[in-house]
């Protein structure tokens, strides 16, 4: 070899020799949750002085990091857990073994037990976990339930489009039949089971992890989990001193600020965490501006190693304008010949938007105000090494309601659902908005009784509860027993808020005042009633845990007492109804078998009977208890298969739920419908998978196919907007598809992370076989037999998010952004089946077009 060749060889050796030396060693280990030894997926491991050198854990919590000889300071970082640092001397391969990470929230593991948090490959139920990191990256300025839209059999939309008016369905069931738990405490309305997310507008800021349990789920309480359970664990007191500040912006004037400060767990055993925030915006839909605040406080005292006390309170006072009416596609497209004005707002048109003194003013069913704080005092007692007792005393006292337009002429403002035009254009502006200034001028001119007034429909409540859970382990059996007691009193009335320039208002519905009594602002009219619900329940579960399999049997029973108090229709001494008494019970069982480290199968089933919601206990809006009140009956079966390796995680499942004697209350426009004895069958298959071809690249996929139909015809009562009975009719709904919940869904998402702190994600969602919700009033004729509801066109949406972690001096910071509906796709999310069961006659809501948000968070 000549001298030139030797030089070339020497240069190549100098180049590649360091590469071989640098790559010959590796540091490895397993990251687990210290509370339960479950592997932590996606933990970031990097060099303290060079974040560009690092890796993340796989599905088994395992990591490998190649490094050359030397001394290194490693950082282990995972949202929701306390950072760990390790100094490692590398002279060869180093196995750090199992590394336990502690939660950054004091006592979160105890709360997860109370909340019946399910464990993958152990608890035999279908689950999907959404950690705080995903909520932070994927939510943006969307509504809280929308973070679930890539979850199998979940359909989440913005509903009418107002702030907090979003809704979510699981396996075709709405929130009345989905158990929503916050730290194990049920928050479904005790009268109708509904959950109004505007009352929990700040929940995404305090959530540590959310788990969706589809089907009967793992909760031991007697709750409304026909379709599933949304199990939300919030922050508790932070274990470390520090805090954060967030500022964000978005489309249509969206502005949000948020702060968080914590003392950390001090030497005296005390810890205090405070959080607060504000949000406001103009709203994407015309006439849906909003303003909200949220607060959170947790005070924790670690008395000793066996006792811990925690007090927590959070709430979200808010006001927001709403959209109360769906409209025909022709109206949104400005092609409805029945409307004498041009709709320049397109899909953003809102017929409940009004103008007053030149400013936005929401009309009847167009404005909402509410504040629903919840406080709890929790005691966690470790009795011995195998037995614990957790007790929570909680309270919620709410105040709020919604605007109503009343008066002798108020019906002239209404939208007529039969011919799809307004009853009169006299009280609207040239572009279709409600003209409140003209109403005020009219009331002043008549100089007496107001033909138009603004009233508030108030729905306030007091809610107190006790939840106590005893857990003990005997050999390989985990035994759980508990008590669930609740008291609820809801107050409902309409109150004069604004006479709109008039002198007084007349309403003769009350038997307790003389006719033609002049009502002033603050007076109650139309209706005034209270509903009292007392519920005491017990539950128990035995869970058997062996090396490869686990199984459980669970039972719950509750005794419920309901009575009604009416101050309008009845004279004193006769205003309180008798108590209506019901006994609910449920039984379920399941088993999981881990075939080996990669394969597992599970099965579960259950049966329960549930007392009807309170609106189906009484005859219409009277104190008379119905004789024919029926228990609702649910039988469900579910089976599934899982496959897991270090790079692949796949879940497959099948479910079948038969629901008998359902009670359904439905509001359409200014009328409501009460249906009893409705039967339905929900069945389907679900797939969920994640693939990590490399440490920085993640691919997620989901698909679900459901078949949800009503199985029998039903009889219903129809009421006007003041709860007066219009009549009783038959509705032909047999074989009609359950509506406003896409029965075929699919999602594909990719996330790529650069080790210097940058991440980017793209998510695609498909929604198909979404049917319009049936309208009982359009199915009274024989010609409706066997005719399915109109099927909404399929929708394909693409969302995108990106974020970057960096330092501002010694402070950690993150800037993040998200674009929803990237390609501005036009699509329909909700529809009410029309008279002809087709697109021409069916009112709809369109989904939002392209929206965006951008935010900066600084940790200190």
pLDDT at residue 729, as a whole number: 87
How much is the CA Rg of the chain, to the nearest whole Å? 29
pLDDT score, position 96: 93
pLDDT tens, position by position, 550-600: 999 999 999 999 999 999 999 999 999 999 999 999 999 999 999 999 999
Candidate from 5-19, 49-63, 304-318, 524-538 with smallest mean pLDDT: 5-19
Distances (CA, A) of 467 to 125, 537, 559, 576, 611: 23, 10, 15, 29, 21
Query: Which residues, including other chains, have CB under 8 Å from residue 694's CB and lie 6 or more apart?
Result: none
pLDDT tens for 239-278 read 788 999 999 999 999 999 999 999 998 999 999 999 999 9
The H-or-E segment that residue 20 falls in is: helix 3-22
Secondary structure (3-state) at 410: helix
Residue in 682, 733, 742, 740 with CA at minimum distance from that of residue 707: 682
Cα 388 from chain centre? 30
**What per-residue confidence (pLDDT) applies to 654?**
98
Query: Within this chain, do residues 55 and 153 fall inside the same structural domain, yes or no?
Result: no
Domain boundary among 68, 101, 134: 101
One DSSP character per residue, 596-644 reads: SSSEEEEEEEEEEEEPPPGGGTBSTTSSPBPTT---EEEEEEEEEEEEE
Q: What 3-state DSSP class applies to 21?
A: helix
Cα 210 to Cα 131, 148, 229: the distances in Å are: 6, 10, 10
> Are 444 and 502 spatial neighbours (Cβ–Cβ below 8 Å)?
yes
Question: 77 and 194 in one domain?
Answer: no
Spatial separation of the C-alpha atoms in residues 109 and 233, rounded to whole Å: 10
User: Which of 408, 491, 503, 185 is CA-nearest to residue 314?
Assistant: 185
- Contact call for residues 670 and 414 (beta carbons, < 8 A): yes
DSSP-derived pairing of the beta strands 367-371 and 387-406: antiparallel
Phi and psi at residue 558, to the nearest 5°: -145, 150
Contacts of 429 (CB under 8 A, 6+ apart): 355, 435
User: What residues have CB less than 8 Å from 783, skipping those under 6 apart?
Assistant: none
The SS3 call for residue 198 is helix
Provide the mean pLDDT of the chain: 90
Question: What's the domain count of the chain?
Answer: 3
Which CATH number covers residue 641? 2.40.170.20
Does 746 map to a domain?
yes
pLDDT tens digits for 213-232? 999 888 877 666 788 999 98
Strands 725-731 and 714-719: antiparallel
Chain centre to alpha carbon of residue 804: 27
331 and 383 assigned to the same domain: yes
Check residue 321 and give its pLDDT: 97
Q: 53-67, 113-127, 253-267: which has the highest mean pLDDT?
A: 253-267
Q: Is the dihedral of CA 804, 807, 808, 814 positive or negative?
A: positive
Tokens matching residue 266: 């001090």
CATH number reported for the structural domain that contains residue 47 in this entry: 2.60.40.10
pLDDT of residue 247: 97
88 touches 20 (CB < 8 A) = no
Region 761-770: mean pLDDT is: 98
Q: Which long-range contacts (CB under 8 A, 24 or more apart) does 746-749 make?
A: 746/701, 746/702, 746/703, 746/704, 747/149, 747/150, 747/700, 747/701, 747/702, 747/703, 748/699, 748/700, 748/701, 748/702, 749/150, 749/699, 749/700, 749/701
Same domain, 157 and 97: no
Same domain, 69 and 184: no
The tokens describing 314, both together, are 């959070």
Chain segment 786-836, per-residue pLDDT in tens? 999 999 999 999 999 999 999 898 898 999 999 999 999 999 999 999 999
CA dist 343 and 341 (Å) reads 6
Which structural domain, as residue segments, surrounds residue 28? 3-101
pLDDT of residue 224: 63
User: CA–CA separation, 689 vs 686, rounded Å?
Assistant: 10
Compute the distance between CA of residue 323 and CA of residue 378 in angstroms, rounded to an integer: 39
CB atoms within 10 A of CB 712: 13
CA atoms of 389 and 397, how far apart (whole Å): 27
How far apart, in whole angstroms, are the C-alpha atoms of residue 759 and residue 732? 52
Q: Is the alpha carbon torsion for 404, 408, 410, 416 positive or negative? A: positive
Instruction: Map residue 446 onto helix, strand or coil.
Output: helix
Please give the Cα distance from 546 to 554 (Å, whole number). 18
* 644, 650 contact by CB (below 8 A): yes
Q: Is residue 164 domain-shared with residue 311, that is, in the same domain?
A: no
Q: Which two tokens stand for residue 430?
A: 């040239």
The pLDDT score that the predictor gives to residue 348 is 96
**Residue 516: count of CB within 10 angstroms of its CB:** 10
Model pLDDT, residue 341: 87
Report how far residue 325's alpha carbon sits from residue 776's, in angstroms, rounded to the nearest whole number. Answer: 17
95 with 167, same domain: the answer is no
- 720 vs 851, higher pLDDT: 851
Q: Is 42 helix (H, G, I), strand (E, B) or coil?
A: coil
DSSP classification of residue 22: H
| 305 and 442 part of one domain | yes
- Confidence band of 755 (pLDDT split at 50, 70, 90): low
* Whether residue 379 is found in the same domain as residue 523: yes
Judged by phi (left if over 0) then psi (alpha if -120 to 50, else beta), residue 475 lies in left
At 24, list the tokens.
């010959």
- HSE, CB side, 13 Å, CA atoms: give it for residue 360: 20
Average pLDDT value for residue range 310-324: 95
How many other CB atoms are there within 10 angstroms of residue 319's CB atom? 18
141, part of any domain = yes
Q: Are 210 and 233 in contact (CB under 8 A)?
A: yes
Last residue of a domain, one of 211, 234, 257: 234
- Enter the tokens of residue 570: 């009845």
pLDDT value for 719: 83
Yes or no: say if 12 and 20 are a contact pair by the CB < 8 Å rule: no
- 698: region left, alpha or beta (phi > 0 left; psi from -120 to 50 alpha): beta
331 and 409 share one domain: yes
Q: Which two tokens stand for residue 355?
A: 């103008």
The H or E element containing residue 110 is helix 108-114
Rounded-to-integer distance, Cα 797 and Cα 767, Å:
9
Helix (H) or strand (E) segment spanning residue 230? strand 228-234
In angstroms, rounded to a whole number, what is the distance separating the alpha carbons of residues 321 and 14? 70
Using the 3D structure, point to which of 177, 211, 234 is the last residue of a domain.
234
Distance CA 159, CA 323 (A): 9
Q: Two tokens at 211? A: 């788990």
What confidence score (pLDDT) does residue 22 get? 44
Give all strands of the β-sheet with 207-214 in edge-to-edge order: 126-131, 207-214, 228-234, 178-182, 185-186
Q: Based on the number of CB atoms within 10 Å of its own CB, is 747 exposed (0-12), middle (13-18) or buried (19 or more)?
A: buried
Measure CA of the first residue to CA of the last residue in the chain; give whole Å: 62
Average pLDDT over residues 757-770: 96
Q: Is the dihedral of CA 422, 428, 430, 431 positive or negative?
A: negative
- Considering the domain boundaries, does residue 241 fall inside one? no
Tell me how far apart the 2 most distant CA atoms of the chain are, in Å: 120
Tell whether 455 is covered by a domain: yes
Using an 8 Å Cβ cutoff, are 560 and 529 in contact?
no
CA angle 405–410–412, rounded 5-degree value = 135
Q: Is the confidence at residue 723, as pLDDT, over 90?
A: no
Question: What three-state secondary structure class fits 699?
Answer: strand
pLDDT at 582: 94
Does 196 lie in the same domain as 76? Answer: no
- Cα(736)–Cα(779) distance, integer angstroms: 11
Asked if the structure places residue 239 within a domain, the reply is no
CATH number of domain containing 132: 2.170.130.10
Same structural domain, 261 and 382: yes
């Amino acid at each position: 070899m000549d001298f030139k060749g030797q030089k070339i060889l020497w240069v190549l050796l100098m180049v590649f020799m360091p590469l071989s030396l640098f790559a010959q060693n590796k540091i490895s280990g397993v990251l687990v949750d210290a509370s339960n030894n479950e592997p932590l997926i996606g933990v970031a491991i990097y060099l303290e002085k060079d974040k560009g050198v690092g890796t993340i854990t796989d599905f088994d919590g395992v990591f490998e990091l190649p490094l050359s000889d030397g001394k290194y300071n490693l950082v282990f970082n995972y949202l929701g857990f306390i950072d760990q640092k390790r100094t490692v001397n590398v002279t060869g391969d180093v196995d750090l073994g199992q590394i336990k990470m502690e939660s950054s929230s004091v006592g979160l593991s105890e709360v997860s037990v109370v909340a019946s948090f399910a464990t993958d490959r152990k608890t035999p139920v279908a689950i999907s976990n959404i950690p705080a990191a995903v909520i932070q990256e994927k939510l943006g300025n969307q509504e809280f339930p929308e973070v679930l839209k890539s979850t199998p059999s979940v359909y989440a939309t913005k509903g009418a489009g107002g702030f907090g008016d979003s809704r979510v369905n699981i396996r075709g069931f709405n929130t009345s039949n989905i158990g929503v738990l916050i730290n194990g405490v049920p928050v479904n309305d005790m009268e109708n089971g509904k959950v109004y997310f505007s009352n929990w507008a700040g929940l995404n800021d305090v959530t540590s992890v959310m788990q969706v349990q589809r089907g009967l789920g793992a909760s031991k309480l007697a709750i409304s989990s026909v379709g599933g359970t949304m199990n939300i664990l919030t922050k508790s007191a932070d274990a470390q001193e520090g805090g954060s500040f967030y500022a964000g912006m978005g489309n249509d004037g969206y502005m949000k600020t948020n702060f968080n400060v914590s003392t950390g767990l001090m030497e005296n055993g005390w810890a205090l965490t405070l959080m607060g925030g504000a949000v406001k915006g103009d709203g994407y839909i015309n006439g849906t501006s909003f303003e909200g605040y949220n607060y959170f406080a947790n005070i924790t005292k670690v008395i000793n190693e066996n006792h811990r006390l925690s007090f927590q309170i959070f709430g979200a006072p808010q006001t927001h304008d709403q959209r109360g009416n769906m409209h025909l596609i022709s109206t949104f497209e400005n092609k409805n010949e029945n409307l004498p004005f041009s709709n320049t707002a397109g899909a953003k048109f809102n017929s409940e938007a009004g103008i007053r003194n030149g400013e936005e003013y929401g009309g009847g069913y167009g404005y909402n105000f509410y504040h629903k704080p919840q406080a709890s005092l929790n005691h966690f007692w470790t009795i011995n090494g195998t037995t614990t007792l957790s007790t929570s005393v909680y309270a919620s006292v709410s105040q709020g309601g919604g605007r109503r337009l009343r008066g002798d002429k108020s019906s002239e403002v209404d939208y007529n659902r039969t011919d799809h035009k307004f009853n009169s254009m006299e009280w609207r502006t040239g572009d279709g908005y409600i003209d409140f200034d003209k109403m005020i001028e009219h009331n002043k001119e008549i100089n007496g009784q107001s033909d138009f007034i603004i009233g508030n429909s108030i729905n306030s409540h007091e809610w107190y509860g006790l939840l106590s859970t005893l857990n003990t382990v005997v050999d390989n059996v985990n035994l759980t027993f508990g008590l669930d007691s609740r008291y609820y009193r809801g107050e409902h009335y309409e109150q004069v808020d604004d006479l709109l320039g008039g002198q007084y208002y007349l309403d003769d519905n009350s038997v307790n005042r003389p006719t033609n009594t002049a009502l002033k602002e603050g007076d109650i009219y139309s209706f005034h009633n209270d509903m009292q619900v007392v519920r005491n329940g017990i539950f128990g579960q035995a869970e058997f845990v062996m090396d490869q399999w686990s199984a459980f049997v669970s039972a719950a029973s509750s005794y419920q007492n309901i009575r009604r108090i009416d101050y309008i229709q009845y004279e004193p001494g006769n205003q309180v109804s008798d108590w209506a008494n019901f006994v609910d019970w449920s039984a379920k069982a399941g088993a999981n078998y881990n075939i080996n480290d990669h394969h597992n199968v599970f099965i579960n089933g259950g049966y329960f009977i549930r007392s009807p919601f309170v609106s189906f206990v009484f005859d219409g809006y009277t104190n008379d208890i119905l004789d024919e009140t029926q228990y609702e009956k649910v039988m469900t079966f579910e089976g599934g298969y899982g496959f897991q390796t270090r790079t692949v995680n796949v879940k497959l499942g099948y479910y079948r739920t038969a629901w008998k004697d359902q009670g359904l209350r439905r509001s359409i426009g200014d009328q409501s419908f009460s249906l009893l004895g409705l039967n339905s069958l929900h069945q389907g298959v679900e797939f969920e998978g994640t693939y990590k071809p490399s440490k920085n690249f993640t691919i997620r996929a989901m698909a679900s196919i459901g078949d949800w139909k009503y199985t029998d015809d039903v009889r219903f009562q129809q009421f006007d907007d003041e709860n007066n009975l219009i009549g009783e009719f038959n509705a032909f709904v047999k074989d009609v598809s359950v509506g406003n919940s896409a029965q075929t869904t699919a999602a594909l998402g990719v996330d790529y992370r650069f080790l210097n702190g940058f991440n980017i994600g793209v998510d695609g969602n498909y929604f198909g076989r979404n049917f319009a919700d049936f309208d009982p009033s359009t199915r009274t004729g024989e010609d409706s037999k066997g005719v399915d509801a109109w099927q909404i066109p399929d929708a394909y949406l693409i969302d995108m998010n990106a974020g970057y972690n960096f330092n501002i001096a010694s402070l950690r910071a993150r800037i993040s952004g998200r674009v929803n509906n990237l390609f501005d796709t036009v699509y329909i999310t909700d529809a009410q089946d029309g008279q002809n069961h087709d697109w021409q006659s069916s009112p709809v809501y369109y989904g939002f077009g392209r929206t965006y948000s951008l935010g900066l968070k600084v940790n200190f």
